[in-house]
């Protein structure tokens, strides 16, 4: 099991990682962060709304199951939002440099780190 600072350090080891955060989406509160690329505190609050909206939409549509991740691709960046399966109410937020990252490997590493994350 990893704590929040170990998880953010691990996320920053991903090729092309610009910044990352661990977020409580029920409150929008940033619990841990590393790097930059964007205002991570503002991104935490805004992306909490994204996660809640997607969960509400899934419920309205009668879609069961969990969100593995939400991908947002921009001209020069990729943003990964990965809700935690082991820590309800948390998500990992990862900002990648599109030219320097491998999306498949980044998603896999984020998933591995999410499984090890232990809320402290």
Is residue 14 within 8 A of residue 109, CB to CB? The reply is yes
Structure tokens at 6: 């170990």
4-116: in CATH 3.30.450.30: yes
Angle at 80 between CA 74 and CA 84, to 5 degrees: 160
Is residue 94 within 8 A of residue 80, CB to CB? The reply is yes
Question: Looking at residue 119, what is its pLDDT?
Answer: 65
The tens place of each residue's pLDDT in the chain, 120 residues long, gives 579 999 999 999 999 999 999 999 999 999 999 998 899 999 999 999 999 999 999 999 999 999 999 999 999 999 999 999 989 999 999 999 999 999 999 999 999 999 998 765
- Report domain extents, the chain: 4-116
Adjacent-strand bridge partners of 30: 23
pTM: 0.93
Adjacent-strand bridge partners of 96: 17, 78
């Amino acid at each position: 099991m990893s704590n929040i600072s170990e998880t953010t350090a691990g996320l920053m080891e991903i090729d092309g990682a610009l910044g990352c955060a661990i977020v409580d989406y029920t409150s929008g509160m940033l619990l841990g962060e590393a790097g930059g690329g964007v205002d991570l505190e503002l991104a935490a609050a805004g992306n909490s709304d994204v996660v809640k909206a997607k969960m509400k939409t899934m419920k309205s549509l009668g879609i069961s199951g969990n969100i593995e991740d939400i991908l947002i691709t921009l001209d020069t960046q990729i943003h990964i939002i990965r809700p935690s399966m082991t820590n309800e109410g948390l998500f990992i937020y990862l900002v990648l440099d599109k030219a320097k990252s491998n999306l498949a490997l980044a998603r896999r590493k984020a998933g591995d780190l999410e499984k090890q994350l232990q809320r402290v």
